[in-house]
Structure 1
Amino acid sequence: MRIVSLLASGTEIVDALGLGECLVGISHECDHPPHLLDRPRASRPRFDPEGLSSGEIDDAVRKAMIEHGSVYEIDAAVLERLAPDIIITQAVCEVCAVPTSGVREVLGARGIEAEVVSLDAHTIDDILASLGQVARAAGNPEVARGPGSSLRRRLDGVRAAVRDVRPPRVLGIEWFDPPFAPGHWVPEMIELAGGLNLAGEAGRPSREVSWEEIGDLDPDALLLMPCGYGLEAAREDADTHAERLERVAPRAVAEGRAWVVDASSYFNRSGPRFVTGVEILGGLLHPDRLPAPDSEVAAVWTPSV
């Protein structure tokens, strides 16, 4: 069995299932787990985001979509050489990862015969079901039982810890320029961790909002989680938009309940580490009930002077 994952969360799922030896290729964005990162990369972005602000990235994404219909390019020669039996991709967001439609187009053009496994998760249950989807495609559905049960037990642990709490009102912001309210599984993560989500709808795409639209929410807690950003990049981008963020959530910032998180690893991806994201949130919102997260994955945000 030869698997190519063109999706970062897909690579993490392959590893969680113990199928790493079958993985022969990965995408440009795959960065976890470390022991699988020596595989050939079968995709690349159409622009280099390094050093760009969130507004500049947004402009580049929109331009790539207009000119090419996609933000990413599949390396067809690499894919052909890898001769995969299975290719893991997604159709949830054309901006976030290589889309299923692009994969099918390359397969048809090159005459590559491979099963396309599209992991189209929109909810927490969908993410958990993705483990079984990959396991079945690999011909070994039983390997999903253990990892799936373990993830559910951890979620149940958080749910039990915060069952009788008074939920703080939480505003999550998934992009700053323009601002986006989180969608898909993230609102569920906030609620499961004992918060009341104020903007964004579970199971629906992340939604562009205006600063004026969220300006009167006055949340108890502010969660800064720009899509695809690690902790330090999120902090730097938040600092760039500090004036607006302070205006949107004055109490949360003043009371030390505004946080930046490693969104790329634990919130944006539809892979197993979203459970760690729920645990991180539980520790931030209810430190009397759950362990505080490590400073490398979440930190209090205060505007730099």
Structure 2
Amino acid sequence: MRIVSLLASATEMIAALGCLDQLVGRSHECDYPHEVLQLPLVSNVQIDVNATSEQIDAQIKQIAHTKDAVQGNALRALSIYVIDTDLLQTLQPDIIFTQTQCEVCAVSERDVIQALQQVVGIQPRIVSLAPYRLSDVWEDLIRVGEALDRKEQAQQLVNDYQQRLNSLAQMTAMLRTKPRVAVLEWLDPLMVAGNWTPELINVAGGEAIFGRVGEHSPWLTWEELVTANPNVLVLSPCGFSLERTMQDIPLLQRHPAWQELQAVQQGRVYAIDGIYYLNRSGPRLVESAELLARALWGERLTINVDESAWREIA
């Protein structure tokens, strides 16, 4: 089977199922495990990802606004992502993995369908994942396993991931006081993490004061953030590495309300690598919960985490 993955989390699932040898093409966001970096890029992004958070947000909103104003084939030209249809023709995939959860976060099913209209001689199966909560992520892993004839292995992986989360939840349940936690998924303007993140916060022993399980991440005003006054603030912008997130910390620190936050005053502000962990709906959501637990409880919990994936903000 020849596989093209246009979703980073699907690529990680494919790897976990032992099918990397069947992967022939990837998206620009598929960067783990590192072996996939040698594969050809089937998609790329059409915005300036090196711009400021505010400028990136403005670019995306402009594309979305223009999409609403046009009809028909013009929609394809206005996508945030572009698919290399000539390369698809060459790769001849039997199956393409994509998603329907968010047209901003990754190549969408609509992008793929429109691209395939320009490709002759192939009719690959399209498997679209749609994760909104942790149970959806595990169901998606089963679907990937079924598509790759690895259903039993996928079920075993799901069992293992759920057991790790249950074990962590049992550890944190023994700690008396639940800190009130806000996870920011974008910094300028402010957006708080929804979907599966409130579940991860709960497993880590915290109380999510923003965002609803299974719902898209909502925008937030500074006034709302100050009023809620979280005990712990976690910065994990969507699509940003830890290093890229650190570049944008001054955007928050310059705001006049920054010093009013209890989390800031008590030195409980942390950055977590968003592109690899909290934002990516794949197997490493388990490690994301463990990273959150480390941020919330420090050495009070005995857990092994990737220390390079998080940082305390002075």
Q: TM-score range by the shorter chain?
A: over 0.9
Alignment of 1:215 with 2:214, yes or no, is no
Alignment of 1:44 with 2:41, yes or no, is no
- Assess if the C-alpha contact under 8 Å between 1:284 and 1:293 holds in 2: no
Please give the alpha-carbon distance, in whole angstroms, between the structure 1 residues aligned to 2:161 and 2:113.
31
* Unpaired stretches in structure 2, ≥5 consecutive residues: 68-76
Please give the alpha-carbon distance, in whole angstroms, between the structure 2 residues aligned to 1:249 and 1:147.
44
- Assess if the C-alpha contact under 8 Å between 1:261 and 1:299 holds in 2: yes
**Equivalent AA in structure 1 for residue 48 of structure 2:** D
Q: Which residue of 2 is the match for residue 12 of structure 1?
A: 12
Please give the alpha-carbon distance, in whole angstroms, between the structure 2 residues aligned to 1:292 and 1:136.
31
Using a 3 Å threshold, how does the CA distance of structure 1 residues 245 and 195 change in structure 2: closer, same or farther?
Answer: farther
Q: Which residue of 1 is the match for residue 63 of structure 2?
A: 64
Q: Find 1:100's aligned residue among 89, 109, 113.
A: 109
Helix, strand or coil for the counterpart of 1:144?
helix
Q: Pairwise mapping of residues 1-305 of structure 1 onto structure 2 (< 5 A)?
A: 1-50=1-50, 52-65=51-64, 66=66, 68-111=77-120, 112-165=122-175, 166-244=177-255, 247=258, 250-287=261-298, 288-291=300-303, 293-302=305-314
Name the one with the larger helix percent.
Answer: 2
**Equivalent AA in structure 2 for residue 100 of structure 1:** E
Judge which range, 83-92 or 60-69, deviates more.
60-69
Please give the alpha-carbon distance, in whole angstroms, between the structure 2 residues aligned to 1:54 and 1:48.
10
TM-fit CA distance, 1:149? 2.1
- Assess if the C-alpha contact under 8 Å between 1:76 and 1:106 holds in 2: yes
Using a 3 Å threshold, how does the CA distance of structure 1 residues 77 and 264 change in structure 2: closer, same or farther?
Answer: same
**Equivalent AA in structure 2 for residue 162 of structure 1:** T
- Assess if the C-alpha contact under 8 Å between 2:204 and 2:292 holds in 1: yes
- Assess if the C-alpha contact under 8 Å between 2:100 and 2:128 holds in 1: yes
* Unpaired stretches in structure 1, ≥5 consecutive residues: none
- Assess if the C-alpha contact under 8 Å between 1:217 and 1:248 holds in 2: no
**Equivalent AA in structure 2 for residue 152 of structure 1:** Q
Please give the alpha-carbon distance, in whole angstroms, between the structure 1 residues aligned to 2:89 and 2:244.
35
TM-fit CA distance, 1:63? 2.5
**Equivalent AA in structure 1 for residue 52 of structure 2:** S
Q: TM-score, normalised by structure 2?
A: 0.91
TM-fit CA distance, 1:293? 4.2
TM-fit CA distance, 1:241? 1.9
Helix, strand or coil for the counterpart of 1:88?
strand
TM-fit CA distance, 1:49? 1.2
RMSD across aligned positions (CA): 1.7
Judge which range, 34-43 or 59-68, deviates more.
59-68
Q: What are the superposed Cα offsets for residues 3-47 of structure 1, whole Å, 9 maximum, x if unpaired?
A: 100011111110011111111110011111101221111001112
- Assess if the C-alpha contact under 8 Å between 1:91 and 1:120 holds in 2: yes
Q: What are the superposed Cα offsets for residues 112-155 of structure 1, whole Å, 9 maximum, x if unpaired?
A: 30111101000011111111101111223122133222211211
TM-fit CA distance, 1:282? 1.0
**Equivalent AA in structure 2 for residue 138 of structure 1:** L
Q: What are the superposed Cα offsets for residues 190-234 of structure 1, whole Å, 9 maximum, x if unpaired?
A: 111110001111100011121122221111100111111111211
Please give the alpha-carbon distance, in whole angstroms, between the structure 2 residues aligned to 1:49 and 1:244.
23
- Assess if the C-alpha contact under 8 Å between 1:282 and 1:290 holds in 2: no
Helix, strand or coil for the counterpart of 2:35?
helix
Size of the aligned set, in residue pairs, is: 301
Q: What are the superposed Cα offsets for residues 79-118 of structure 1, whole Å, 9 maximum, x if unpaired?
A: 1111111100001111110011111122233243011110
Please give the alpha-carbon distance, in whole angstroms, between the structure 1 residues aligned to 2:256 and 2:40.
40
Using a 3 Å threshold, how does the CA distance of structure 1 residues 94 and 300 change in structure 2: closer, same or farther?
Answer: same
Using a 3 Å threshold, how does the CA distance of structure 1 residues 232 and 18 change in structure 2: closer, same or farther?
Answer: same
Q: TM-score, normalised by structure 1?
A: 0.94
